[in-house]
Amino acid sequence: MQSPQEILKSVFGYNEFRPFQQEIIEHALANQDGLAIMPTGGGKSICFQIPAILKPDVTLVISPLISLMKDQVDALRANGVETAFYNSSISDAEKQEIYSKAVNSQLKLLYLSPETLVGGIDWLQRIPISMIAIDEAHCVSMWGHDFRPEYQQIGQLRKHFSNVPFMAFTATADKITRSDIIEKLALEHPSTFISSFDRPNLSLAVRSQIPKKQKEKEIVSFIKQRVDEAGIIYCLSRKETESWSNFLNSSGINSRYYHAGLSSQERDAIQDGFINDQYQVICATIAFGMGIDKSNVRWVIHNNLPKNIEGYYQEIGRAGRDGMPSDTILYYNYRDVVLLNDFVQDSEFKDVYHEKINRMLKYAEASTCRRKILLAYFGEHLTEDCGNCDICNDPPAFIDGKIIAQKAISAALRSKEQLGINLMINVLRGAKTIEIFEKNLDKIKTYGAGSEYSFKQWQHFINHLINQGVFEIAYDENLHLKVSDLGKAIVESKQSIQLTEFSEKTTKSTKKKTSDKAGDNEVLSKLKAWRKEIAAKNKVPAYVIFHDATLNQLAQDLPLSINDLADIQGFGKVKIDRFGSDVLGIIKNSSSKISTYEKTLLLHEKGLNLEQIASERGISPQTVMNHLIKLFEEGKPVNLYRFVTEFEVQQIKTIRKKLGNTFQLKPIFDGLSGEIDYGKINAAIAILEKQKKQIN
Ligand code: ADP
Ligand code: ZN
């Protein structure tokens, strides 16, 4: 039997497991029940796919999302794994065919939607099942944020399949949900695996109380800096998704809207168009995204405050699944909070919901590293600030806020706490508006007391006073600002307060970062064009063929042989067989290829060693070695003796002779008891071959 590590390499083309993947896989192989909690994009699928491949029979995967199933099945098939899905979207004939394959153990994985279980369990009992994996397991719990009644059927399964191991997977971590999942699914002595929720490649930024026009400007400029890079804008209402999408289209950005009010055909078409890079932007309610596994979503913007941190984290997690740098921005204002609280007012769980909204707001209002706050919510504690959020990038400077606070508080008190934010600012600045005169606000003592600050500055200060609990917003009273006990203590000078300085922030932290490892652009665009063609031919999304990360690495490393291809992430055996020669052809035919070799040569001539060249160029030491050998063979001034000693070359020569002057590395490596590494063997062969030619 192959090891999980070997399957990871040969089927999926990856070199290393991510944290916990191996433990979870081994646990599953030992036929134990388990619960794995990993963030979106953390790599859950492989945790049940690899055991499924290694186990003799069929692994059932229960997943609530039909489109996600289809994606995973396509991706597995592209890697040569026998897989099918069974749900309401397929014909009876297909169902029959799939069922008979399953019964005969001709499938490694069978994806099922939970509704298919409702019809009864008898038919499943004829399938030889080696494991049952439950994806999005939080759907079974009322405490999760996405309860689905169909999921309750799964609990019944446990009774009928008492010898089959159950593995549950979710990206939702809070403790009640966790124990609820274990109970509802009747997991037996499950081990729980909680992987890090950190997604360091996602930048985090929050923009508070930005007027609509400015927001539009910011978002358009943000998107225009990201040519062809796909992203999602999440909105609270259907109407907003439509107006944003129309606005973006009129600004020359290719966008569509998506919400539950569209027919399912319309929704599928939009989703497919997004997956296949036909539409750059989707403006959507949170109905969108659950079912997509598009790995190259490069950014996510929230147009409103999300209703809980779990949802927010899952939504931003749809960006950058391929691990490449991706940006997220959250826009919010206090109206959002009113709306969100209204939504849940009649729910029997309203207290839980209010608390979740509150935590979300606290995050948005924070003035310390955002990632620390997010991870702390999921029970993880970063020891250092992240360096990739707006706060870390532009830490706020603090000033003594006593006088500012006192002015604002007294304005509130003197007007009987009947001021919303804007009206308060107008009072403080001594504005001459009809509302002020009608309400006689020009008569109070604080009128005009804050005219030294601009409207925006006051907005900033008042937000901050709200954040610190000096004012409370009366959500049920037109958003009037009420003075808290803390506020009263400040007016009486019993308490001091610090405020952050106002700075005219741009979307600084989210300016496009141009990677310093850009790779060969010509090769990259050729590879993308080729991928698009193949994807269309196979009727699958482009990323099922290869992820962006794979194409980027190809353009960077410019591999020239099948051997080199195996070093590229995402190139498993099946893909090397299917696409290897196409890809190599594209790289070889591309004119700028020489430059990467020349760059390596230049650094070599400067005297850098392998590791130094590798890190300078952002490629692997093996690739550098391959470059140098190629250059050496072409007669370029490369001194391979810098990497292998004359004595080692002689050792290799001797053993190689015994092996019939083989070019295969492994027998030589083994013959030398593994004491000389592959890089050196490669170099020695090149030296020996050249000597042979020179003698002839
Ligand atoms: P989720 O946890 O959201 O289900 P996926 O299973 O879809 O995440 O994995 C996210 C991405 O990470 C996929 O593109 C997958 O191929 C990739 N991935 C998973 N495991 C690894 C690994 N060990 N090395 C490199 N990439 C991986
Ligand atoms: Zn940070």
Per domain, the residue ranges of the chain are 4-194, 202-393, 398-500, 639-696
When pLDDT is cut at 50, 70 and 90, the band that residue 512 belongs to is low
CATH topology of domain 398-500: Arc Repressor Mutant, subunit A (1.10.10)
Report the nearest atom of ligand 1 relative to the CA of 38: 2
> Which protein residue has the closest C-alpha to ligand 1 atom 1?
41
Contact 480, 474 (CB under 8 A): yes
Cα 62 to middle of ligand 1, angstroms: 18
Q: Give the number of other CB atoms < 10 A from CB of residue 296.
A: 21
Cα 543 to middle of ligand 1, angstroms: 12
pLDDT tens for each residue of 594-613 = 567 878 888 888 788 888 88
CA atoms within 13 A of residue 650's CA, in its CB half-sphere: 3
Residues with CB under 6 A from ligand 1: 14, 16-18, 21, 38, 40-46, 293, 295, 321-322, 547, 569
Phi and psi for 382 in degrees, rounded to 5? Answer: -75, 135
For ion ligand 2, residues whose CB falls within 5 Å = 369, 371, 385-386, 389, 392
Phi and psi for 480 in degrees, rounded to 5? Answer: -70, 150
Angle between helix 455-467 and 350-365 (nearest 10): 130
> Which protein residue has the closest C-alpha to ligand 1 atom 17?
43
| pLDDT for res 595 | 67
**What pTM was computed for the model?**
0.65
SS3 of 109, please? strand
From 251-255, 398-402, 557-561, 600-604, the region with the lowest mean pLDDT: 557-561
Report the nearest atom of ligand 1 relative to the CA of 547: 14
Region 346-371 average pLDDT = 87
Identify which of 12, 24, 79 to mutate to test ligand 1's pocket (most ligand atoms within 8 A of the CB). 12
- Say if residue 593's pLDDT is above 60: no
Is the C-alpha dihedral spanning 240, 242, 246, 252 positive or negative? positive
- Say if residue 37's pLDDT is above 60: yes
Enter the CATH code of domain 202-393: 3.40.50.300
- Say if residue 286's pLDDT is above 60: yes
Cα 45 to middle of ligand 1, angstroms: 7
How many H helices and E strands in the chain? 33, 17
Q: Identical fold at 4-194 and 202-393?
A: yes
Identify which of 45, 49, 65, 69 to mutate to test ligand 1's pocket (most ligand atoms within 8 A of the CB). 45
Cα 280 to middle of ligand 2, angstroms: 28
Cα of first residue to Cα of last residue in the chain, in angstroms, is 47
pLDDT tens for each residue of 514-555 = 444 556 778 888 999 999 999 999 888 888 899 888 998 898
From 93-97, 500-504, 674-678, the region with the lowest mean pLDDT: 500-504
Identify which of 6, 17, 46, 76 to mutate to test ligand 1's pocket (most ligand atoms within 8 A of the CB). 46
What percent of the chain lies above the pLDDT cut of 90? Answer: 48
Enter the CATH code of domain 4-194: 3.40.50.300
